[in-house]
Amino acid sequence: MCQSIQEPTVPWFRLSEGSERSWSERSWCEGFKHQNHQGKQHVCTWLSRTATYLEISVMVATLILFAQKENASLIEAGLRQITNTLEARVAMGTADQRHALALQQSQFARLEAKVRQINTLKARHALELQRLESRFETLEAEMQQNFSSIKTELEYNSVCSWLSGWQQDQVLQWCKVGAGVQAYSATDRPSDKVTLYRVMLPHGHLDWSVYQNVCTSWQGCNGGKPVAYFAHYENGTFNIDNNKGDINTTMNWVGTDNVDAAKYEQLCVGDSVWTGGCCYGPHACNDGNGVSGQRYALCGCSEH
């Protein structure tokens, strides 16, 4: 009988259940049971070992296969874990993105509200500026009107001076001789009350139209007309002397009743007899176109 070969000690592996030797070992060894030849015994021993190693190889291969399967399971589990982790991170990232988006939307909404507030303030400021500009224009117009009134008061309502040299001293176009002066439509027939002005005549040639134009040059003069010469009651003039003629009323205002006085030099009244009008002073009447220097007319403005 061949000697049995001791199985290798493998802590995690055992041979077939119910037998300590494999089928190959029993078959070959039993075949040489009654033979005592030494060579045969060696062959038996070799075959037994070979069979044992073959079974071990099969088992190792099986274990390797199991290990591979186990590794595949582990890999699959690892992949699942990685997948779950990635999905969790993706979900977390999505949540973070949603949170960030919500935060951005909230910030954007606040910015929009701020912009709307700014636009509202701008609109209010624009309206306020427009109101102020309108008010400023109104105040400016009022100031211009007041200034115009003051200018009118200075230029047209200043009282005329009759002192010596007044012809050179009068710097304003119009000055007031008197107010509430009676005008006549015929002899002893009173009509309007007028305000009497002494007005600068333009330089150059004088005629009846120049007197008419100069007395209507100021819009503040209502129905302005030249004062009539002598006792005339002609259309287009104011007769303020009734039938007394010349500048009787004016002389009463001034206090000197001599038309030849130097105070009346260069003071002229339009008339058809003298082309340039009758100018008083020394040697009156003098034709206005023969009088040098600044000449003046008497204009009446209706008080009605």
The reply to whether 279 and 187 lie within a common domain is yes
Query: Of 6-10, 67-71, 191-195, 300-304, where does mean pLDDT reach its minimum?
Result: 6-10
| Res. 82: pLDDT tops 50 | yes
Res. 11 pLDDT band, cuts 50 70 90? very low
251-287 pLDDT tens trace: 988 888 899 998 899 999 987 778 899 999 999 889 9
Is residue 129 one of the residues assigned to a domain? no
The reply to whether 98 and 226 lie within a common domain is no
The reply to whether 82 and 203 lie within a common domain is no
The reply to whether 170 and 297 lie within a common domain is yes
Full-model pTM = 0.53
Res. 65 pLDDT band, cuts 50 70 90? low
| pLDDT at 111 (0 to 100) | 87
125-150 pLDDT tens trace: 888 888 888 888 888 888 887 766 66
Is residue 154 one of the residues assigned to a domain? no
Which residue range(s) make up the domain with 205?
A: 166-302
Domain boundary among 75, 110, 145: 110
Domains held by the chain: number: 2
Domain boundary among 85, 110, 135: 110
Tokens representing 227? Answer: 């004062």
The reply to whether 296 and 205 lie within a common domain is yes
Is residue 126 one of the residues assigned to a domain? no
| pLDDT at 85 (0 to 100) | 78
Distance of alpha carbon 285 from alpha carbon 288, whole angstroms: 9
The reply to whether 284 and 204 lie within a common domain is yes
Res. 92 pLDDT band, cuts 50 70 90? confident
Tokens representing 136? Answer: 């400023």
Q: With pLDDT > 70 as the criterion, what percentage of the chain qualifies?
A: 73
Average pLDDT of span 192-212: 93
The reply to whether 61 and 182 lie within a common domain is no
Please give the radius of gyration of the chain, using alpha carbons only, rounded to the nearest integer. Answer: 69
Choose between 74 and 248: higher pLDDT. 248
The reply to whether 200 and 293 lie within a common domain is yes
| pLDDT at 239 (0 to 100) | 92
In 3D space, the residue among 190, 230, 217 whose CA is nearest the CA of residue 299 turns out to be: 217
* For residue 285, cis peptide bond before it (omega within 30 degrees of 0): yes
Choose between 288 and 153: higher pLDDT. 288
Res. 93 pLDDT band, cuts 50 70 90? confident
Tokens representing 248? Answer: 């009787």
Average pLDDT of span 60-89: 71
The reply to whether 104 and 174 lie within a common domain is no
Average pLDDT value for the chain: 79
| pLDDT at 43 (0 to 100) | 60
Is residue 147 one of the residues assigned to a domain? no
Res. 9 pLDDT band, cuts 50 70 90? very low
Q: With pLDDT > 90 as the criterion, what percentage of the chain qualifies?
A: 27
The reply to whether 80 and 206 lie within a common domain is no
Average pLDDT of span 42-46: 62
- Bridge partner list, 199: 174, 297
Choose between 195 and 99: higher pLDDT. 195
Is residue 296 one of the residues assigned to a domain? yes
Is residue 193 one of the residues assigned to a domain? yes
Is residue 245 one of the residues assigned to a domain? yes
β-strand 296-302 against 267-269: which pairing, if any?
A: parallel
Res. 152 pLDDT band, cuts 50 70 90? low
The reply to whether 291 and 175 lie within a common domain is yes
| Res. 207: pLDDT tops 90 | yes
Residue 177, C-beta contacts closer than 8 angstroms, at least 6 positions apart: 160, 196, 197, 198, 250, 253, 298
The reply to whether 249 and 179 lie within a common domain is yes
Domain boundary among 110, 125, 148: 110
Tokens representing 279? Answer: 């100018």
Is residue 284 one of the residues assigned to a domain? yes
| Res. 7: pLDDT tops 60 | no
